[in-house]
Structure 1
């Protein structure tokens, strides 16, 4: 359950849990749920909610805001499934040019959508709430991955690198499609631990204990190439330096704020990754500088600083009604 939320929420219990039947049931159920509820504005969160939100917004004559958190038609799960991807592309091509209000999470995605469909796409970053400073003091020799355990997240590389980092342990927090394969891969690795799903409050505590946070997405298509993973901002809020892939948005963030290191595309081997970890964590002056950079960046990269952009956009939407 979602606890402690300052808004109402409703979780739909679906008969089907995956595949085309899941999306069909979800789309129909969401359409009727929106149709019978009163609203002044509808926000469609990613392409898989857009059709019912668009239809209801037209039927009721209320504005629709499309919030694209990722490049949905370019996710790795679709890139190698041409028929399924073609279906989502058809839907996107039919609806996107008709949308008046579109936001996404970074400049790379905004440019990609504008190049494909024209029209303005505004950037509102999906930043976390500002958190109280974490406890001070030396942290244990713990490396952290938090997030979905899905294809192309670089988790296999992290696990393999632990053979060259015997003094460290890798904590993996999350669930996903490749979880069982990852557990099998790590069976002989005593310094790799899986936590499964971790509630947000407990995840924050875990993140504050880590010496380093990983975000090593592979370049498996435009979605990962232009990704701005939430976990990177969560690491920064916890004053935990990061090691990220050399992909445009993540690398630009690290270079701009100095919050960690970047793993080059030609260095994605277990030995090279282990060397990068030690070079950052075991060099006191360099590590201290990265922690201090996280402390400074955390004051800027938070929702309290970003939310005014969304509120201003809402004002513009309603002023045109």
Structure 2
């Protein structure tokens, strides 16, 4: 009989490529996996999905109800391992381990108390910082996604934190050839995938997009706390045909659309520690899709880009993204150089060993 592992997430499994890869790996290793999430998903081989319905969809009420309900749902089944993703599920692991004495893995995908949505709210930040202190120091295994976050956590909590980078699955050439299509005319699609939240520079990007020539279309894939604000900004500036919102899409569709883009954007704010030390999934997704990207010269991105150059780096906070895009279009040799390097990564020059 396979060993059992319970995974706790607050994201939607169907749209979370990173969690899909983690759970698939668990199944491949012989575990039977139960995923506790606020969203519905269909059961599949070796994976049971359990929906945790809450009265609230966001905010303090959501986190409180999710953790309480998920804990009581989890304790009726003994598992060999409990895997909690980020601080918003960590308390369940903390108390579950006390009852069953099982192994607890804590996934530190973010420096939660330093996220832009939290860092400027002193009371909220203190709550999450206390959660980090109690849970990171007591879990059996802690993992994170970037070398600099690994160093920060190890220094702060004086314990081993394992580095597990969020690498996408490699697509076969046959799949790429099927998915690849030409964009219409001279249109250049610039894609952003991920949360539409504050601290991503999206407000400034849309505000300056009116300076872009009409041949450029900005495609935003994702939802978040400022989705409505961004849509209002686009409407007020009469740019509906130049900035497109696609919401959340399934991973296969997102891979397809990303491969057909001309350029990817990985934008973050440098005003919070979490962003500065991040290593976003989309960085690798753009490499996987073999398109160049623009990203900030934060430590983890700069380090990887030194190994093999796949991105144009924003070196200063006030450096114009618009100017950098236009420079990349003008310098065709540079663009093709970055693009060829992403191809090399797919052919065995490993970007993130």
TM over 0.5: yes
Q: Contact 2:181–2:260 at 8 Å: present in 1 too?
A: no
Change (3 A) 1:11 1:255: farther
**Does 2:307 correspond to 1:259?**
no
Give 2:132's aligned residue. 92
Give 2:333's aligned residue. 285
1:247 Cα deviation from its structure 2 partner: 1.4
Partner residue of 1:214 out of 258, 262, 265: 265
1:18 Cα deviation from its structure 2 partner: 2.1
Give 1:313's aligned residue. none
Higher helix share: 1
Encode CA deviations 1:52-90: one digit per residue, 9 max, x unaligned: 112112211111111100101101111111111111112
Give 1:58's aligned residue. 98
Q: What SS does structure 2 have at the residue aligned with 1:10?
A: strand
Q: Contact 1:105–1:125 at 8 Å: present in 2 too?
A: yes
Aligned counterparts of 1:90 and 1:214: Cα–Cα separation in 2: 34
Give 1:173's aligned residue. 221
1:182-201 counterparts in 2 under 5 A? Answer: 182-187=230-235, 188-189=238-239, 190-201=241-252
Q: TM-score, normalised by structure 2?
A: 0.80
Q: Output the aligned Cα RMSD.
A: 2.1
Q: Contact 1:130–1:298 at 8 Å: present in 2 too?
A: yes
Unaligned runs of 5+ in 2: 1-39
Give 2:275's aligned residue. 224
Partner residue of 2:296 out of 245, 249, 270: 245
Q: What SS does structure 2 have at the residue aligned with 1:193?
A: strand
Higher strand share: 2
Q: What SS does structure 2 have at the residue aligned with 1:130?
A: coil
1:286 Cα deviation from its structure 2 partner: 1.5
Encode CA deviations 1:100-127: one digit per residue, 9 max, x unaligned: 3111001100111111111111101111
Q: What SS does structure 1 have at the residue aligned with 2:156?
A: helix
Aligned counterparts of 1:97 and 1:282: Cα–Cα separation in 2: 51
Encode CA deviations 1:244-265: one digit per residue, 9 max, x unaligned: 0121112322332211200122
Aligned residues: 301
**Does 2:107 correspond to 1:74?**
no
Give 2:286's aligned residue. 235
Aligned counterparts of 2:272 and 2:258: Cα–Cα separation in 1: 28
Q: Contact 2:115–2:275 at 8 Å: present in 1 too?
A: yes
Give 1:312's aligned residue. none
Aligned counterparts of 1:288 and 1:239: Cα–Cα separation in 2: 11
Identify which of structures 1 and 2 has the higher relative contact order when contacts are C-alpha pairs closer than 8 Å and 6+ apart: 1
Partner residue of 2:199 out of 152, 164, 180: 152
Aligned counterparts of 1:69 and 1:196: Cα–Cα separation in 2: 22
1:91 Cα deviation from its structure 2 partner: 2.1
Q: Which moved more, 1:219-228 or 1:245-254?
A: 245-254
Q: What SS does structure 1 have at the residue aligned with 2:117?
A: helix
1:26 Cα deviation from its structure 2 partner: 0.7
1:138 Cα deviation from its structure 2 partner: 5.6
Q: TM-score, normalised by structure 1?
A: 0.87
**Does 2:164 correspond to 1:116?**
no
1:301 Cα deviation from its structure 2 partner: 9.0
Encode CA deviations 1:32-66: one digit per residue, 9 max, x unaligned: 12211232111111111111112112211111111
Partner residue of 1:14 out of 54, 64, 74: 54
Aligned counterparts of 1:5 and 1:241: Cα–Cα separation in 2: 35
Unaligned runs of 5+ in 1: 307-321
Q: Contact 1:34–1:53 at 8 Å: present in 2 too?
A: no
